[in-house]
Amino acid sequence: MTELFLHIVNISISASWLVLAVLLARLVLKRAPKWAHVLLWGIVGVRLIFPFSLESALSLIPSAETISPTILTDGIHRVYTGFPTLNQSINPVLSQAATSTTDAAPNLLEIWLPVLAVLWFFGVAALLGWSALSYLRLRRRVSTAVRLEDHLYQSEAVLSPFVLGLVHPRIYLPFYLDQDTMEHVVSHERAHIQRRDHWWKLLGFVLLSVYWFNPLLWLAYLLLCRDIELACDEKVVRDMEPQQRADYSQALLSCSVRRPAIAACPLAFGEVGVKQRVKSVLRYRRPTVLAVAASLVVCTIVGVCFLTNPPIPRGFPMQGHNVADLDPQEIVEQIAHIEHLQYPSELNVNTDQFEVLLNADFQWEKSGTVRFFYTQHNQTYRAQLRLNLEDSTYTVTQPTTCPEQTTIYGLRDYLEALKYLPQEEIRRLAPDADQFSITHVAEGIPGGERTITYTDDGVSDLGGWFIHLVVQPLYQAASGGYQGTGDEAIHLFYGRPPAQRLATYWGADLPGTFHLKTPDTTLDFDASYLELFSDGSFTWSRSILMSSVTRGYYEETANTLTLYIYSDTIYVFDKKGDSLIYNADASTQSLPMEEWAYLPGV
């Protein structure tokens, strides 16, 4: 229900921009035919009903999906308002709210979002229930009504004329109406039926019930009801003489009655904005062709600009110009959002990279590019992350298809290897260097005087490396340019701290099943594997030949093994002898069995 609620919230936010546009358009079309106002509210209804929309560069909506409906399961705890400054203010608070105080404790998002979803559901049920009850009570009140002709009825319980019913609507009249007033009233109510206003008002109330938490939509519904009445009045009086319009206005005044402002039914003759309606009737002038054309143009512009979604911006701000200012988590989450990926960990790199060029202070020497790729819908795509120093932004290029990649490293691992470069150690080995050229290589074994192993916490021994970088010190030549020699190259290995491997499980042919590796196990290099370490961490990979691994933490009991990727993404395996069997019911995220060896992770 939480995902549905967040989806409704996103539609509501998008529709709010449309409501503001309609309020402005109503001012522009103040002297236009009133059916144009109703048509504008119909555009709002379309936006609220349909869960999808086309992308258009003409869209004026800042963001089509402000909050990810899967915010609790995809690990991306941020909003995309369409305003970068606002994002930077909200997202740190949101990330803090998504952080548990303890490993087992739920965070604030996990607590409040389900609560809000339940409140939303009960709000919808209460409004729809109240409307249904009101309808049944009204039907009971007019059950003794006397039929005059066709669908006309009179009742002592009726204070003001109204239409009731959907498939076979009836017009209910009070007994006190004189003949002239009754003619005007019946003309008005029949116009409502011809225009299907009893359908549109009910639909508007149902949408209001679904989006009851949005105050702008309450205002929209009130104005819709008023515009429906004004449009109906115009339909009735457009062929009347001035004296007839005056008599019609008098009928309005004589039938005016105070009713609840918010109701799904009925359509009552004198219930909404009587004073405004009387003025509108008395001042009515048949609209010119130009006014009608202008109304259609404004409605079209509003529809094109607010029924479509904006393309997701393919750029976002840089955090700074020093390589240590990189924010790998922010970057991969932004790219995942741009490329419509559920997990940031689906973003990978290989060693086919441009060199990274830094100055002696480890500032970016020039704008750079990072190639990355991902697989979506059984197709591999590649794109580039470009660092634009001139305006301090990142830009993500449009993806193109490419062959399936075999050498895979995580994009976040690569960015972290750059962020946590052991700058002091590099300076110690090359104190006079003017620049550093950094390349990513696929193979290597740590060792030698010009080798540095490091983790997020600095220089350290490793229990396994994720990224191998080669740093080439460069020196300014007298003739200009920079040069260096291969024997000064520094090999950097970025990885995880050392920990004792407690167990290794190899994937079986049966999806979702692992078998414990023993000394007698015949290695299958195409099989996935899971390694458990003494520090409570694990690594998971599709095969031993793959360089890409998923990392996280685990908890183990006598009967189960639980893997934690994010605080709210949990995979549970039942122990059956020396085998692990995936337990879908106990897990918070479904494991994709078609590629079950790939566990989405950080």
Q: What is the CATH number of domain 501-595?
A: 2.40.128
Q: CA–CA distance from 256 to each of 245, 259, 331, 540, 567 (Å)?
A: 16, 9, 61, 73, 60
pLDDT at 15 (0 to 100): 94
pLDDT at 102 (0 to 100): 44
Q: How far apart are alpha carbons 111 and 106 in whole angstroms?
A: 7
Kindly indicate the confidence band of residue 259, based on its pLDDT and cuts at 50, 70 and 90.
low
pLDDT at 552 (0 to 100): 81
Beta carbons of 197 and 228 less than 8 angstroms apart: yes
Q: How far apart are alpha carbons 6 and 12 in whole angstroms?
A: 10
Kindly indicate the confidence band of residue 47, based on its pLDDT and cuts at 50, 70 and 90.
very high
Beta carbons of 452 and 459 less than 8 angstroms apart: yes
β pairing state of 152-154 and 170-173: parallel
Does the pLDDT of residue 266 top 60, yes or no?
no
Does the pLDDT of residue 361 top 60, yes or no?
yes
Beta strands in 139-250 (DSSP E): 146-149, 152-154, 162-164, 170-173
- Token reading at 101: 């105080």
Is residue 155 classed as helix, strand or coil in its secondary structure? coil
What mean pLDDT do residues 394-422 have? Answer: 91
Q: How far apart are alpha carbons 316 and 334 in whole angstroms?
A: 8
The mean-pLDDT minimum among 83-97, 113-127, 210-224, 288-302 falls in 83-97
pLDDT above 70 covers what percent of the chain? 86
Beta carbons of 371 and 99 less than 8 angstroms apart: no
pLDDT at 345 (0 to 100): 79
pLDDT at 108 (0 to 100): 65
Does the pLDDT of residue 65 top 90, yes or no?
no
pLDDT, one tens digit per residue, over 130-147 is: 988 888 888 888 888 888
Q: How far apart are alpha carbons 514 and 571 in whole angstroms?
A: 13
- Token reading at 218: 């309450």
Q: What is the pTM of this model?
A: 0.68
* Residue with token string 């298809």: 401
Average pLDDT, the chain: 84
pLDDT at 12 (0 to 100): 93
C-alpha 29 chain-centroid distance:
33
Kindly indicate the confidence band of residue 545, based on its pLDDT and cuts at 50, 70 and 90.
low
pLDDT at 601 (0 to 100): 45
Residue 446: asked if its preceding bond is cis (omega within 30°), the reply is no
**Comparison of pLDDT for 217 and 563, the residue scoring more:** 217
- Token reading at 50: 């349909």
The mean-pLDDT minimum among 10-19, 27-36, 69-78, 225-234 falls in 69-78
Q: How far apart are alpha carbons 99 and 209 in whole angstroms?
A: 33
Beta carbons of 514 and 575 less than 8 angstroms apart: no
Q: How far apart are alpha carbons 560 and 537 in whole angstroms?
A: 16
Does the pLDDT of residue 296 top 90, yes or no?
yes
pLDDT above 90 covers what percent of the chain? 33
**Comparison of pLDDT for 531 and 110, the residue scoring more:** 531
β pairing state of 348-349 and 409-410: antiparallel
Closest CA to 103 of 575, 504, 552: 552
- Token reading at 65: 């999906």
Closest CA to 185 of 173, 196, 201: 173
Cβ partners under 8 Å of residue 3, min gap 6: 69, 70
Kindly indicate the confidence band of residue 592, based on its pLDDT and cuts at 50, 70 and 90.
low
Does the pLDDT of residue 480 top 50, yes or no?
yes
Q: How far apart are alpha carbons 492 and 495 in whole angstroms?
A: 10
Provide φ and ψ at 156, rounded to 5°. Answer: -70, -20
Q: Which amino acid is at 91?
A: N
Q: Which amino acid is at 359?
A: N
β pairing state of 490-496 and 451-455: parallel
What mean pLDDT do residues 469-473 have? Answer: 94
What is the DSSP code string of 429-488? Answer: HSTT-SEEEEEEES-----STTEEEEETTEE---SEEEEEEEEEEEEE-TTSSEE--GGG
The count of other CB atoms within 10 Å of the CB of residue 226 is 17
Q: How far apart are alpha carbons 111 and 107 in whole angstroms?
A: 6
pLDDT at 506 (0 to 100): 82
pLDDT at 74 (0 to 100): 52
pLDDT, one tens digit per residue, over 561-582 is: 998 875 556 889 999 988 888 8
| CATH code 2.40.128 region(s) in the chain | 501-595
